[in-house]
């Protein structure tokens, strides 16, 4: 007989240590903060030592607990692989993807039907983040974030470049018909629409267009780009938008790029794969295959 600690408490402990938060562990597992706390207390009692220490208002894993959690995570990964190998070969699998809201809405989701056509037994569950920092959270198989492919920036993840990004001027075709912009100076008198989450877009574009003297022009600013994009589509003003993310809107006539040759390169998007995903062969192949598909779609959009 193996003398094992309570397995449910182990599962909850591993998620809490990985996410660094009782609250996030509860959200991932569908449990209350109190239920997470009780299970971890039970595991601490079984082990005879503390696993988390209070740091301000948060509970932080001890150094020994972080080592233990890594081993537990690997064990669960091996168990999951064994279960997949012994389970139904055509069972539907869920791939959890986190992405910035605008990227998900304007680039990823419109393309998912092509992925599903080739992978009918995979369900891609997309969650979005809309904060300026676009922080990483646990509980996902792939996270897409704006950044560069440098491993030290995300030491717990494998980083794969996915999509380049450039900014250009965008406006609605209806507004263009009323007040066309044929040269950079024609933007004078238009309402400039900006986003808190894409600070510096207008300043950089105005510099590229040789219109630095308009940098102090008043702007209407929204909290997120997807709101700004909608205001541009509604003809409330002109904005700076990312390509190729908005090519779908240009193709269907919702938006247009009146000065397409004036472009400002921006930091693109990368896929972040938790290193624990590499531990399970079947799960790892699923994640790697999805990231390869993302890269292929991005190449096709260039």
Mean pLDDT, residues 248-271 taken together: 93
Residue 178 pairs with which residues in a beta bridge? none
Mean pLDDT, residues 86-100 taken together: 77
> Mind listing the pLDDT tens digit for each residue in 2-50?
788 899 999 999 989 988 888 888 887 888 989 999 999 999 999 999 9
Name the residue ranges covered by the structural domains of the chain.
Answer: 7-86, 101-302
- At the topology level, CATH places domain 7-86 in Arc Repressor Mutant, subunit A (1.10.10)
**CATH assignment, 101-302:** 3.40.190.290
> Mind listing the pLDDT tens digit for each residue in 154-203?
777 889 999 999 999 999 999 999 999 999 999 998 999 999 888 889 99
Contact residues for 15 (Cβ-Cβ < 8 A; gap 6+)? 25, 28, 29, 138, 139
Structure tokens that stand for 183 in this block = 């040269």
Q: Specify the range with the lowest mean pLDDT, choosing from 23-37, 101-115, 120-134.
A: 120-134
Is there a shared CATH topology between the 7-86 domain and the 101-302 domain? no
pLDDT of residue 129: 81
Three-state SS across 248-290? HHHHCCCCECCCCCCCEEEEEEEEEEEHHHHCCHHHHHHHHHH
CA distance 171 to 190: 10
Mean pLDDT, residues 111-133 taken together: 85
CA distance 41 to 78: 26
CA distance 295 to 273: 14
pLDDT higher than 60, residue 282: no
CB of 224 within 8 A of CB of 102?
Answer: yes
Structure tokens that stand for 137 in this block = 């959270």
**Run of H or E residues at 44:** helix 33-47
> Mind listing the pLDDT tens digit for each residue in 49-69?
999 998 887 888 999 999 999
CB of 293 within 8 A of CB of 108?
Answer: no
Length of the chain: 302
Q: Sheet harboring 93-100: ordered strands across?
A: 122-129, 93-100, 142-146, 264-274, 157-170, 238-243, 192-195, 219-222
Closest to 156 in 3D by CA, of 70, 255, 76: 70
CA distance 99 to 74: 25
CA distance 41 to 38: 5
Q: What percent of the chain has pLDDT over 70?
A: 90
């Amino acid at each position: 007989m193996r003398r094992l600690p309570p397995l449910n408490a182990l599962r909850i402990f591993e998620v809490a240590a990985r996410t660094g938060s009782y609250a996030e562990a509860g959200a991932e597992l569908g449990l209350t903060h109190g239920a997470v706390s009780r299970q971890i207390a039970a595991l601490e009692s079984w082990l005879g030592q503390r696993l988390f220490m209070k740091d301000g208002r948060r509970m932080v894993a001890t150094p020994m607990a972080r080592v233990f959690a890594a081993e537990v995570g690997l064990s669960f990964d091996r168990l999951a692989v064994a279960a997949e190998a012994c389970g139904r070969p055509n069972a539907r699998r869920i791939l959890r993807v986190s992405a910035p809201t605008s990227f998900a809405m304007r680039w990823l989701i419109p393309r998912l039907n092509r992925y599903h056509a080739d992978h009918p037994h995979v369900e891609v569950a997309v969650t979005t983040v809309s904060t300026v920092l676009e922080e990483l959270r646990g509980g996902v198989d792939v996270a897409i974030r704006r950044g560069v492919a440098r491993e030290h920036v995300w030491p717990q993840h494998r980083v794969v470049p996915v999509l380049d990004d450039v900014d250009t001027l965008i406006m609605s075709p209806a507004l263009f018909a009323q007040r066309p912009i044929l040269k950079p100076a024609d933007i004078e008198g238009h309402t400039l629409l900006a986003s808190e989450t894409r600070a510096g877009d207008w300043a950089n574009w105005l510099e590229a267009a040789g219109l630095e003297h308009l940098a102090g022009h008043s702007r209407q600013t929204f909290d997120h780009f997807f709101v700004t994009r909608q205001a541009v589509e509604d003809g409330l003003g002109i904005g700076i938008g990312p390509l190729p993310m908005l090519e779908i809107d240009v193709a269907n006539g919702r938006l247009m790029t009146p000065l397409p040759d004036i472009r400002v390169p921006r930091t693109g998007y990368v896929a972040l794969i938790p290193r624990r995903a590499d531990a399970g062969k079947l799960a790892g192949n699923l994640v790697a295959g999805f990231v390869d598909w993302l890269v292929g779609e991005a190449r096709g959009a260039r």
